[in-house]
Chain A
Amino acid sequence: MLYREAGDFKTTYVEDGQTFPIKFDRIAYYILLAVAFGVVPFIINDYWANAVLVPFLIYAVAAIGLNILVGYAGQVSLGTGGFMAVGAYACYKLMTSFPEVSILIHVVLAGVITAAVGVLFGLPSLRIKGFYLAVATLAAQFFLVWLFNKVPWFYNYSASGQISAPERTVFGIEVTGANTDAWAKYLVCLIFVTACAWLARNLTRGTTGRTWMAIRDMDIAAEIIGVNPLKAKLTAFAVSSFFVGIAGALFFAVYLGSVEVGEVFGINKSFLVLFMIIIGGLGSIFGSFAGAAFMVLMPVLLKNILVGGLGWPTDIAAHFELVIVGGLIVVFLILEPHGLAQLWRVAKEKLRLWPFPH
């Protein structure tokens, strides 16, 4: 009954083009933001931060990044893990080389560096498409991980070959290092997620987003109406890698603290983020969040049910989890190729007419 657009008249094109055209949605969104910023930091504990919220937020940034490339611009990439590694190592090198500069700036700069690397590996997309492009990005994935293992300069010649985030503060509050409070980690990630989602939404609803989608839907027609395919594809790679790089930097500096590149940013990571956007919904910012939430929460939930509730051994539960994730991806690809975001859209459309659907 509350969920109506009737009576909510739009009198300008700005109002008509806004992200949440329905008032109820707008209010819900502001409440969500207020709770996320104003309430959660006070009640969060280590378990919720480390097991659920922080990984969810970071993966959401990575998923938004990949969604821009795959969902909006239609360029399939399997190099997400590699690009996250670029973000992580760029952040590490910046943190250790310029310790007096704020970590927040380092994270953004890590995104910029990753964007440049992304453009470099995006160059093949000008000649190859689809499956073959996926293989080319796969090469990027393996090459980057190999590079960070091979060249000691990247990990500052440390004996273990790992990189560990030094302790850094923002306004006197520690945000990286072993003694960081749960709420500080959460808040840093939340700020980046909010900013990234806002930027991504603005880009995708405007001219840039339309050129990306035009290239995705029909590249020949896009070129005929004035889209420069070179520019469209490379900007997609740049913006996508920028977000993925930020996610990688946060994943290393704020979430894990120390990283062994092959383990953390391997091919599994690429697939995980790809699954997130497939389940969440290609070409949707909301879908990126939904997919990230799903893939982060489901293992936690399953573990609680299978191990905590039913008393199964941990290893069986872990295997079972893989089976369920694999099955769900098949189910989603067959039944709802547009993912959770589409289910959400359909639900909203139904709700708009409820309780008199005719």
Chain B
Amino acid sequence: MSAQAEEYVTEDGRKIGGVMMEMKNITLRFGGVVAIKDISFDIREGEIRAIIGPNGAGKSSMLNVISGFYNPQEGDVIFRGKKRPQMRPYKVAQQGIARTFQNIALFEGMSVLDNVMTGRLTHMKTGMFGQAMWWGKAQDEEVYNREKVEEIIDFLEIQAIRKTPVGRLPYGLKKRVELARALAAEPKLLLLDEPMAGMNVEEKEDMSRFILDVNDEFGTTIALIEHDMGVVMDLSDRVVVMDYGKKIGDGTPDEVRSNQEVIDAYLGVAHD
């Protein structure tokens, strides 16, 4: 695509800015297995960027590289114009990157409220002694963050289960709580690993609505992995297609749909 550094406005009126995150020639190996091979792509401010591909293509590994969970052997991760050194995941979180997991990774022993409050950790400043006394600043901070969290809870329509332990919730709601926890951090970049896996049509519709609303209302940049092609093509501004650790397509949904290599990867092709 030639529209690299310039801003533009999408058909539905959302503003897409310059490049927020750039992955440059990323290669990730586990011993002899090459999970990601020399992949470059970028994520632009305000867009919804999808990563698709068949099973084992390296999509989740890519997300793990972005969230700092894996460190690639080769290549650079450039976030907001600066090359990111190797850093622990919690440092990445402090930079404003939040994520959800393919297999829900909530804190089962805690209530929904506590789970979402944990998402605001990067905004908590008072020290432990202040908290132990529970007066003044510590309490103010707790209340301030609680208000923020309640906004998210309202937004995702989970008011009724606020105080329920997460372990008791059904699958669809857990996915929503996980999204709430990621949103509570007020991330600049939100990574969603298969947000709609295992959901029925209605739940998928709900989740799609939430993703679009998040992008629209908070202006959050979103990178998501999803297998449901209908959802991906409808939601995303641009799509990266991966297969066997390589990038085989990159562009708008329409471009990707008509890409012969992508069709081959998905439909299979006779080898001769």
Residues of B within 8 A of A199 (CB): 132-133
- Residues of chain A within 8 A (CB-CB) of B142 are 13, 17, 206-207
Q: A210-B114, A226-B122 are in contact. Are A218 and B105 (CB under 8 A)?
A: yes
How far, in angstroms, from A216 to B118 measured CA to CA in the complex?
13
Q: Mark B142-158, 1 if CB is under 8 A from A, else 0.
A: 11001100100000000
Q: Choose among A202, A210, A223, A228 the residue that contacts B117 (Cβ–Cβ < 8 A).
A: A210
Structural contact, B143 and A217, CB atoms closer than 8 A: no
- Is residue B139 within 8 Å, beta carbon to beta carbon, of the partner chain? yes
- In the assembled complex, the Cα of A111 lies from the Cα of B94 at a distance in Å of 33
Residues from chain B with Cβ under 8 Å of A202 in the complex: 131-134
State whether the Cβ of A256 lies closer than 8 Å to any Cβ in chain B. no
State which of B89, B94, B128, B181 has its C-beta within 8 Å of the C-beta of A235: B128
On whether the beta carbons of B109 and A283 are closer than 8 Å, the reply is yes
Please measure, in the bound complex, the distance between the C-alpha atom of A17 and the C-alpha atom of B142, giving whole angstroms.
9
Mostly, the A contact residues are helix
Q: B7 an interface residue at 8 Å Cβ cutoff?
A: no
> B114 — which chain A residues lie within 8 A by C-beta?
210, 213
A347: interface (CB < 8 Å): no
* A258-302 CB contacts (< 8 Å) to partner B: 283
- With A202-B133, A221-B107 already in contact, the answer to whether A14 and B88 are too (CB < 8 A) is no
Chain A residues bordering chain B, tally (CB within 8 A): 30
Chain B interface category by residue count: 35 or more
Q: Which of B108, B110, B118, B131 has the most CB of A within 10 A?
A: B118
The reply on A35 being an interface residue by CB < 8 A is no
Chain B nearest CB from A282 CB (Å) reads 9
| Contact of B105 with A221 in the complex, beta carbons under 8 Å | yes
B105 to A: closest C-beta gap in Å: 4
Known: A13-B147, A203-B128. A217 touches B121 (CB 8 A): no
A226–B185 contact, CB under 8 A? yes
The contact of A225 among B118, B128, B146, by CB within 8 Å, is: B118
A342 to chain B, nearest CB (A): 12
Let me know if B107 and A214 touch, CB within 8 A: yes
Q: Are A217 and B108 interface neighbours, CB within 8 A?
A: yes
Q: Is B28 on the interface with A (CB-CB < 8 A)?
A: no
Nearest residue in A to B124 (C-beta to C-beta)?
Answer: A207
Q: Which residues of B contact A257 (CB under 8 A)?
A: none
Instruction: Give the Cβ gap from B61 to chain A, nearest Cβ, in Å.
Output: 15
Find chain B residues with CB under 8 A from A206 CB: 131, 134, 138, 142
Known: A13-B146, A218-B107, A220-B105. A225 touches B98 (CB 8 A): yes
- What is the chain B residue whose CB lies nearest that of A213? B110
Q: How far is the CB of A246 from chain B (nearest CB, A)?
A: 14
B143 touches which of A14, A203, A225, A283 (Cβ 8 Å): A14
From B88, B107, B108, B182, name the one whose CB has the most chain A CB atoms within 10 angstroms.
Answer: B107
On whether the beta carbons of B105 and A13 are closer than 8 Å, the reply is no
Once A210-B117, A213-B107 are accepted as A-B contacts, the answer to whether A223 and B132 lie under 8 Å apart by CB is no
> Which B103-143 residues have a C-beta within 8 angstroms of A?
105-110, 114, 117-119, 121-122, 124, 126, 128, 131-134, 138-139, 141-143
Give B residues with C-beta under 8 Å from A. 67, 69, 88-90, 93-94, 98-99, 101, 105-110, 114, 117-119, 121-122, 124, 126, 128, 131-134, 138-139, 141-143, 146-147, 150, 181-182, 185
Name 18 extra pairs, CB < 8 A, besides A221-B107, A226-B90. Answer: A13-B142, A13-B146, A13-B147, A17-B146, A199-B132, A206-B134, A206-B138, A206-B142, A210-B117, A216-B107, A217-B108, A217-B110, A222-B107, A224-B89, A225-B90, A225-B93, A225-B121, A225-B182
- Give 16 CB contacts A-B under 8 Å: A12-B143, A13-B150, A202-B133, A206-B134, A208-B128, A210-B110, A210-B114, A214-B118, A220-B105, A221-B107, A224-B99, A224-B105, A225-B98, A225-B181, A225-B182, A225-B185
